[in-house]
């Protein structure tokens, strides 16, 4: 595709005629950056970038909100494409992670878009939306949540397309969305609610069914509170290690990855009283019954007072301790205490109990069940993002790819499978426009021993523009301590990755999809 240069200068007046129905523009500023270097965590340093940064502040009159959008428009290497960059946790974007994605997009010739949905904090590490979730105790700012959930996505995309047309003299020929986790949820929301906005959507490890998983993932903490016992992380890790040792070799390779979680039937109760290697000298020497019950809660998923399943568990090689772990505890001086997952704790306190002072440690089973029901009843339509009818997206000509790590530490891959199965039940032609790939050993978006499909976005672009649908993605792991990486095929669901029985286990040619 030939490169396109701007027809008009990077000054605010170039974009002054842009309007958005239902919105009032507060401020617009266009700034030219030339031969610019940008550095963000998780990304290489970008040098020699030339782009027009259009920063916009707007409001929805009567809603008392203030939203921000940035669009970076390449000045010399534009390729007639727009790329929207997704956020993470409770952040819609406009942070170092999304800025890094924007810099990469601009370097590759895309006009790049990110947004903040009108929320005060866009730091994915700052998981407490205390500045916006509650209008007052008991009263959730539902419109702010709706901005995050859906409205701002349409707003920002329409604005970005208008800026592109104002700068280059024509709208983008192709528009893409690129996101994981919250960004994956945003991508699926776009496909479900705004099916005409994007030609291609990459929705990795999507945080859909938020109304269910944010309560379901809290369940191991609830179990610990019921037991009034908080196991040492080393106990929990010893049980996880035992499961990996029992199931790792089922695929014919001993590499720390459970390739087919459904084939792993390890019973954690068999290791009660087994030895523990604790670096903390005050830690236990053997695995406690409480630790086993907590791990069972992680793997088995949330259950109600009637012992009926409410939510999926994680797979047995997923890390469940550490800052993002569902069974994390805080230990000091020989005693461990509760350390609930911040995303989940926030959801229960601010959006369900609607009172940040509520003591969740004293929660009863009936109250937990009640909060789960409240979450589903009050938030599915606003934030659930799991409408399985993708036929309008199909009819608009869109294409979408989802990948999900089977060792995800936060969002159970079984829910993504459930959603895809539900979408397939609505439309048996689903693979013509939406394809799902699971990656054994991959954590949440990245990390773990498994491979992340780094080329998935390029594969999506090829599908959209050339009609070549992918049957396989190649997952590449992070380097180990010796710098070695694994490359393995990620198979089009419902096929699974199978080792051929011989050959180098670090290269995809040694595997098949069956």
DSSP state of 362: G
Give yes or no: 480 in active site.
no
* Beta strand residue intervals within 75-205, DSSP E: 81-85, 110-115, 134-136, 139-140, 174-180, 200-204
3-state SS, residue 27: strand
Q: Which of 296, 333, 332, 336 is CA-nearest to residue 316?
A: 296
For 289-328, the DSSP string reads HHHHHHHHHHHH--B-TTS-B-SPPPPTTS--SSTT-TT-
Residues 6+ apart with CB under 8 A from 110: 74, 78, 79, 81, 82, 83, 176
- Give the C-alpha separation, 102 to 300, whole Å: 39
User: Which structure tokens are listed for 339?
Assistant: 């350390």
Give yes or no: 209 in active site.
no
Q: Which of 82, 110, 77, 115 is CA-nearest to residue 99?
A: 115
CB of 352 within 8 A of CB of 371?
A: yes
Burial of 500 (0-12, 13-18, 19+ CB in 10 A): exposed
- Give the C-alpha separation, 159 to 124, whole Å: 24
3-state SS, residue 31: strand
Q: Degrees (nearest 5) of the Cα angle 289, 291, 295?
A: 120
Exposure class string for 273-288: b at 16+ Cβ within 10 A, else e: eeebebeeeebbeebb
Q: Which of the residues 89, 317, 408, 439 is marked catalytic? A: 408
CB of 156 within 8 A of CB of 162?
A: no
Give yes or no: 408 in active site.
yes
CB of 375 within 8 A of CB of 410?
A: no
Q: Which of 112, 113, 107 is CA-nearest to residue 48?
A: 107
Give the C-alpha distances (Å, rounded to integers) separating 111 from 176, 292, 409, 485: 10, 51, 33, 32
Q: Which of the residues 98, 150, 181, 205 is marked catalytic? A: 181
- Please identify every residue annotated as catalytic: 181, 408, 444
């Amino acid at each position: 595709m030939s490169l396109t240069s701007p027809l008009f200068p990077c000054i605010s007046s170039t974009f002054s005629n842009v309007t958005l129905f239902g919105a009032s523009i507060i401020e617009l500023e266009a700034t030219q950056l030339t031969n610019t270097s940008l550095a963000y965590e998780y990304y290489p340093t970008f040098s020699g970038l030339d782009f027009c940064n259009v920063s916009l502040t707007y409001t929805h009159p009567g809603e008392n909100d203030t939203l921000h959008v940035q669009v970076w428009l390449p000045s010399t290497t534009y390729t007639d494409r727009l790329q929207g960059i997704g956020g993470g946790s409770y952040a819609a974007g406009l942070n170092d992670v999304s800025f890094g994605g924007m810099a990469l997009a601009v370097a590759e010739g895309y006009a790049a878009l990110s947004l903040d949905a009108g929320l005060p904090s866009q730091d994915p590490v700052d998981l407490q939306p205390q500045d916006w979730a509650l209008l007052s105790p008991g009263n959730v700012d539902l419109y702010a949540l709706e901005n995050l959930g859906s409205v701002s996505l349409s707003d920002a995309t329409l604005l970005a397309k208008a800026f592109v047309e104002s700068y280059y003299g024509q709208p983008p020929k192709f528009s893409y969305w690129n996101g994981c986790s919250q960004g994956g949820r945003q991508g699926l929301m776009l496909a479900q609610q705004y099916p005409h906005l994007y030609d291609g959507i990459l929705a990795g490890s999507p945080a859909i069914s938020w109304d269910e998983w944010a309560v379901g993932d809290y369940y191991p903490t609830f179990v610990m509170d019921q037991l009034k016992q908080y196991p040492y992380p080393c106990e929990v890790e010893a049980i996880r290690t035992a499961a990996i040792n029992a199931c790792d070799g089922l695929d014919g390779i001993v590499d720390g990855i459970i390739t087919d979680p459904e084939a792993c039937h390890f019973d954690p109760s068999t290791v009660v009283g087994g030895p523990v290697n604790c670096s903390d000298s005050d830690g236990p020497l053997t695995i406690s019954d409480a630790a086993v019950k907590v791990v069972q809660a992680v793997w088995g998923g949330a259950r109600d007072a009637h012992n009926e399943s409410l939510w999926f568990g994680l797979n047995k090689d997923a890390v469940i301790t550490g800052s993002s772990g569902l069974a994390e505890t805080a230990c000091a001086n020989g005693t461990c205490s509760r350390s609930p997952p911040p995303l989940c704790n926030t959801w229960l306190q601010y959006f369900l109990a609607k009172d940040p002072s509520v003591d969740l440690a004293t929660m009863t089973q009936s109250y937990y069940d009640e909060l789960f029901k409240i979450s589903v009843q009050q938030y599915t339509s606003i934030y659930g993002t799991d409408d399985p009818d993708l036929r309008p997206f199909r009819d608009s000509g869109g294409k979408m790819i989802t990948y999900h790590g089977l060792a995800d530490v936060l969002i159970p891959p079984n829910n993504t499978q459930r959603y895809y199965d539900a979408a397939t039940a609505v439309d048996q032609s689903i693979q013509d426009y939406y394809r799902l790939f699971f990656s054994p050993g991959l954590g949440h978006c990245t990390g773990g021993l498994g491979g992340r499909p780094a080329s998935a976005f390029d594969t999506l672009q090829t599908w959209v523009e050339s009609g070549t649908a992918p049957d396989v993605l190649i997952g590449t792991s992070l380097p180990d301590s010796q710098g070695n990486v694994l490359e393995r095929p990620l198979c089009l669901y419902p096929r699974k990755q199978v080792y051929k029985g011989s050959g180098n286990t670090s290269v995809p040619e040694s595997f098949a999809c069956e």
